[in-house]
Amino acid sequence: MSRLVFTLATLLKFGTSEPTENPPKTPRINPLESEKHKMAKRKPKYVYFFGGGKSEGKAAMKELLGGKGANLAEMSSLGLPVPAGFTITTETCDAYYKLGRKYPSELAPQIDRNIRKLESLTGKTFGKGANPLLVSVRSGAAVSMPGMMDTVLNLGLNDVTIKTMIENSGNERFVWDSYRRFMQMFGDVVLDIEHHDFETALDKVKLARKVENDTDLDTEGLRDVVKAYKNVYKKAKKSFPQDARAQLQLSVNAVFSSWNNARAIKYRQLNDIRGLLGTAVNVQEMVFGNMGNDCGTGVAFTRNPATGINKFYGEFLMNAQGEDVVAGIRTPEPISQLRKYDAKCYKQLLAIRSKLEKHYRDMQDVEFTIEKGTLFMLQTRSGKRTAAAAVKVAIDMMKEGLITEKEAICRVDPKSLDQLLHPQFDTKAEKTADIFATGLPASPGAATGQIVFSAHKAEEWNDMGLPVILVRTETSPEDIGGMDAAKGFLTAKGGMTSHAAVVARGMGKCCVAGAGQCNIDYKKKTLTVGKTVLKEGDWISINGSLGTVYAGKLPTVSPTLTGPFNQIMKLADKHRVLGVRTNTDTPADTAVAVRFGAEGIGLTRTEHMFFEGDRIISMRKMILAEDQTGRKAALKTLLPLQRKDFIGIFKALKGRPATIRFLDPPLHEFVPHDKAGQAEMAKAMGVSPKVIKDKVDSLHEFNPMLGHRGCRLGIYYPSITEMQARAVVEAAYAVPGAKAEIMIPLVGNVGELANQKQIVLDVIAQVKAEMARKGKKKAPPIKIGTMIEVPRGALTADEIAKEAEFFSFGTNDLTQMGCGFSRDDSGRFLKRYVELGIYDNDPFQTLDRGGVGQLISIAVEKGRKTRPDIKLGICGEHGGDPNSIEFCHNVGLDYVSCSPYRVPVARLAAAQAQINNPRKKKAVKKSKKK
């Protein structure tokens, strides 16, 4: 819909959830019930006034007044220059829908009363009289949904008031411009007239007047536009109401209706926004930045939102309205330049910056307008920021004494740290690479991918697993799905506060904006700079920290953790009681994880080691073996290789413990399922292809997830367990300080663990005897434990703990079996489930506390009852998800384990969990670091 109503301020709010707050606890109860509850308690007050240094609302009333309304009230109470107005509550929106798109009878008189109050405060009359009051009507939910809902400006103009306005302002062109803008916005937003029809009418006038830009139209031209617009209304059989109160009522309807437009619903789903009552409506006296050169408008952040540096940061345009900055026709100037145009207002703005930060104790982003030398604040809210900025702002504010250590820790969204950990371009390679284009460093980081020119294509290719860079002249809210799918964005137009830049920072993706040399042809699907033409699908690399663009792929390196990031991690470690380990299968990954702060390995998947190189041949020989003798011969060739793997991992860990899981996947994963592969395997094995095919067929399972895998393999083929145990034990002897923890997978019955444990114990005894003969008397510490990933395992944890020295919760499988969802198959209907609110989140991403969480709680309680010192951890992918980590903390686990790049995320999330729900520290024994 109308891009014109997409103001800078709303643009800047774009992104996912508020980074400076903990994720909102969406109420688990039926929203209908929670509302009933609230409605019953409070009298039906639907409208809250603000202005004149007073307010009926305050910042804490976000749920009721929306973020915008609550902060306007707060600023007003603080004595900041806020145009007066009133907020119609979110409860009204809720009631509107409940009553079948009708209003409670109390609403109209309350609005009337507040209009009278506003008239009295401003000395103006609403939509008429000698000094007509014009208002803006803006949406504003408790959680920002920028550009998703409707806004109407300049409301109150009509054929009569424009005359008065012209007289009063002495600026006829401005008034006609405002009128035509209002008519278009109203027709488009409120009366559903095709936006296109207005554009066509406007173009005709421009053509007739031989001007190129809207701004080139003079008073006469704008008057023609108004005339033409009236015809558009007529053709659409809609009437433009001259009565301001009618204009207002229809606009309020439109805003409330826009709460449930398709775009808004989709946005809430995408951003996991739930449990809200609806949007509020803010009706506020209009102030104009476009009445002349003593007017202007701008947006600013109290600190740099990309780097966090404590410096006022923003852009402004003189004689302009918000949308002019976005339109990209005039280039906004840096905020520091404002002092040249209006030193008084600039000084006042600096004071407000300081006051707001002290008041809100957080970095703010603000929107302001200067009307004839008077500064007005139109918005404030906590500013979206990159992860780097969030970290720096938190550390700085703590040092400045604005916030406490604990608050600093809680100010950073753990998930966002991901951004800081992702690879950067290799400096050497980047230095020698040819720069293809340069633009603004709009959102830091590096990205390499294939060029796509549309959001649609970005989604499509991403679904196929291709990394894509979205290349657009500029981006708009409609592109949001494709932006989510892309690794990064390159735009030819737009500044540091353009849509692409803001979204990129919010999403933690890298972005180069406003690369003006880039010539983009959507039809031909080409990106041209000079004579170089790149096509759709070509590779490109962009550096959002430098603003540089390269044709082709650039190699990347891991980032280093220094400065504020290092500081916040140290704070997190100081506070958390939950240990953090990592899931790795190679010495290289292990080294990365240790650098990121991993205190050991929580999961090494030994089967990954069987795929590498020639090993798969031995593995297949093992599978093909007719008897134990053949199997043992094949396993004998795997033993030294596996031992070498473990030695490498133990060395990388430098004395930290490693939990090693024995063979888990069904054997059919190791054999080829296609004819060619089977023929090749037959050749390598020296048998006929029929033998291979028969074997592969015999390994087929209807539900392999619930089939012959995990410890069921080791029980059926004890020689596999023997080999793996020997590899671990011999490796542990070979590396001084090695701490091995052998983990038996898929245990649902203590008998399974007892069976496998005995084999391991026998091997330990054998190796010990062999080593003693060689003079190695000191045995390495080896623990034996199990995965808890079968519901039955959790339910019988008391029995299993008799044999297990540790449990590691395999929450992936526990979710599959506990909820009955095949991970490979449930994608389609799980999406629908989340849409319908049956599950709050995809249970494979965020741990299902209600079901899977119960199994974990039961197992923790029963396990500790049998063996009070049992070590408890989690190694499912939930171990890297902050919400799930909070659960692990609350339920009393000793550690979480996650992928190397998630380790810092987990450290921070664990600290936040401890701050929000303190637990005694004694449960955790941190491993000694060297």
Please select the residue that binds its own copies; options are 555, 640, 736, 751, rule is CB under 8 A.
751
Q: Which is nearer to its own copies, 30 or 336 (CB)?
A: 30
Nearest distance from C-beta of residue 671 to its own copies, angstroms: 16
Q: Does 627 bind its own copies (CB under 8 A)?
A: no
Distance CA 407, CA 914 (A): 12
Please select the residue that binds its own copies; options are 41, 773, 778, 832, rule is CB under 8 A.
832
Please select the residue that binds its own copies; options are 854, 866, 890, 927, rule is CB under 8 A.
854
Please select the residue that binds its own copies; options are 819, 875, 896, 905, rule is CB under 8 A.
819
Q: Are 225 and 180 in contact (CB under 8 A)?
A: yes
Nearest distance from C-beta of residue 831 to its own copies, angstroms: 10
User: How far is CA 513 from each of CA 173, 407, 430, rounded to the nearest angstrom?
Assistant: 34, 33, 19
Stretch that binds its own copies, among 221-229, 465-473, 824-832, 886-894 (CB under 8 A): 824-832
Q: Does 3 bind its own copies (CB under 8 A)?
A: no
Nearest distance from C-beta of residue 794 to its own copies, angstroms: 9
Please select the residue that binds its own copies; options are 394, 398, 518, 817, rule is CB under 8 A.
817
Please select the residue that binds its own copies; options are 156, 332, 791, 904, rule is CB under 8 A.
791
Q: Does 855 bind its own copies (CB under 8 A)?
A: yes
Q: Total number of residues binding its own copies (CB under 8 A)?
A: 48
Residue 839 burial (C-beta neighbours within 10 Å; 0-12, 13-18, 19+): middle
Nearest distance from C-beta of residue 829 to its own copies, angstroms: 5
Burial letters 909-930, b for 16+ CB under 10 A, else e: bbbbbbbeeebeeebbeebeee
Token output for 176: 């006609």
Please select the residue that binds its own copies; options are 282, 755, 808, 884, rule is CB under 8 A.
755
Stretch that binds its own copies, among 38-46, 58-66, 569-577, 843-851 (CB under 8 A): 843-851
Is 819 labeled as catalytic in the residue annotation?
no
Q: Does 816 bind its own copies (CB under 8 A)?
A: yes
Distance CA 639, CA 167 (A): 94
Q: Does 818 bind its own copies (CB under 8 A)?
A: yes
Nearest distance from C-beta of residue 748 to its own copies, angstroms: 5
Q: How many CA atoms lie within 13 A of 420 on its CB side?
A: 29
Please select the residue that binds its own copies; options are 828, 920, 922, 930, rule is CB under 8 A.
828
Q: Which is nearer to its own copies, 439 or 853 (CB)?
A: 853
Nearest distance from C-beta of residue 29 to its own copies, angstroms: 11
Nearest distance from C-beta of residue 755 to its own copies, angstroms: 6
Q: Does 326 bind its own copies (CB under 8 A)?
A: no
User: How far is CA 133 from each of CA 550, 767, 792, 826, rounded to the nearest angstrom?
Assistant: 53, 91, 70, 56
Strand order in the sheet with 440-443: 437-438, 548-551, 539-543, 446-452, 468-472, 488-491, 510-513, 440-443
223 three-class SS = helix
Burial letters 221-232, b for 16+ CB under 10 A, else e: bbbbbbebbeeb
Q: Are 335 and 298 in contact (CB under 8 A)?
A: yes
Is 711 labeled as catalytic in the residue annotation?
no
376 three-class SS = strand
Q: Does 274 bind its own copies (CB under 8 A)?
A: no
Q: Are 819 and 848 in contact (CB under 8 A)?
A: yes
Distance CA 709, CA 607 (A): 12
Nearest distance from C-beta of residue 850 to its own copies, angstroms: 6
Q: Mention every residue, 6+ apart, whose C-beta is less than 8 A from residue 862.
A: 796, 797, 798, 801
Q: Does 795 bind its own copies (CB under 8 A)?
A: yes
Q: Does 679 bind its own copies (CB under 8 A)?
A: no
Stretch that binds its own copies, among 729-737, 819-827, 909-917, 922-930 (CB under 8 A): 819-827
Q: Which is nearer to its own copies, 251 or 721 (CB)?
A: 721
Torsion angle defined by CA atoms of residues 579, 583, 589 and 595, in that order, rounded to the nearest 10 degrees: -10
* H runs (alpha helix) in 735-749: none
Q: Does 851 bind its own copies (CB under 8 A)?
A: yes
Distance CA 153, CA 183 (A): 10
DSSP state of 386: -
Please say whether the dihedral angle defined by the alpha carbons of residues 623, 625, 631 and 634, taken in this order, is positive or negative.
negative
Q: Which of 101, 90, 137, 99 is nearest to 118 (CA)?
A: 137
Please select the residue that binds its own copies; options are 824, 869, 920, 922, rule is CB under 8 A.
824
Stretch that binds its own copies, among 141-149, 249-257, 299-307, 820-828 (CB under 8 A): 820-828
Q: Does 884 bind its own copies (CB under 8 A)?
A: no
Distance CA 138, CA 302 (A): 24
Distance CA 720, CA 727 (A): 11
Q: Does 804 bind its own copies (CB under 8 A)?
A: no
Stretch that binds its own copies, among 242-250, 639-647, 759-767, 836-844 (CB under 8 A): 836-844
Nearest distance from C-beta of residue 797 to its own copies, angstroms: 11
Q: Which is nearer to its own copies, 562 or 703 (CB)?
A: 703
Catalytic residue among 93, 295, 410, 875: 875
Q: Which is nearer to its own copies, 475 or 815 (CB)?
A: 815
Q: Does 525 bind its own copies (CB under 8 A)?
A: no
Nearest distance from C-beta of residue 15 to its own copies, angstroms: 29
Q: Does 712 bind its own copies (CB under 8 A)?
A: yes
Nearest distance from C-beta of residue 746 to its own copies, angstroms: 7
Torsion angle defined by CA atoms of residues 509, 514, 518 and 520, in that order, rounded to the nearest 10 degrees: 80
Q: Does 722 bind its own copies (CB under 8 A)?
A: no
Backbone angles phi, psi at 491, to 5 degrees: -120, 150
Q: Does 641 bind its own copies (CB under 8 A)?
A: no
DSSP assignment of 168-179:
HH--HHHHHHHH
Catalytic residue among 93, 410, 499, 511: 499
Q: How many CA atoms lie within 13 A of 278 on its CB side?
A: 25
Q: Which is nearer to its own copies, 528 or 854 (CB)?
A: 854
Q: Does 241 bind its own copies (CB under 8 A)?
A: no
Please select the residue that binds its own copies; options are 60, 170, 227, 829, rule is CB under 8 A.
829
Q: Which is nearer to its own copies, 837 or 918 (CB)?
A: 837
Q: Mention every residue, 6+ apart, whose C-beta is less than 8 A from residue 366.
A: 299, 300, 301, 302, 314, 352, 353, 356, 377, 379, 380
Contact flags string 681-710 toward its own copies, x per CB under 8 A? --------------------xxxxxxxx--
Nearest distance from C-beta of residue 851 to its own copies, angstroms: 4
Backbone angles phi, psi at 155, to 5 degrees: -70, 140
DSSP state of 75: H
Q: Does 850 bind its own copies (CB under 8 A)?
A: yes
Q: Does 370 bind its own copies (CB under 8 A)?
A: no
- Tokens 């995990």 belong to 710
Three-state SS letters, 489-513 = EEECCCCCCCHHHHHHHHHCCEEEE
Q: Does 744 bind its own copies (CB under 8 A)?
A: no
Interface with its own copies (CB under 8 A): 701-708, 712, 715-716, 746, 748-749, 751-752, 755, 790-792, 795-796, 799, 813, 816-822, 824-826, 828-829, 832-833, 836-839, 848, 850-852, 854-855
* Catalytically annotated residues: 499, 875
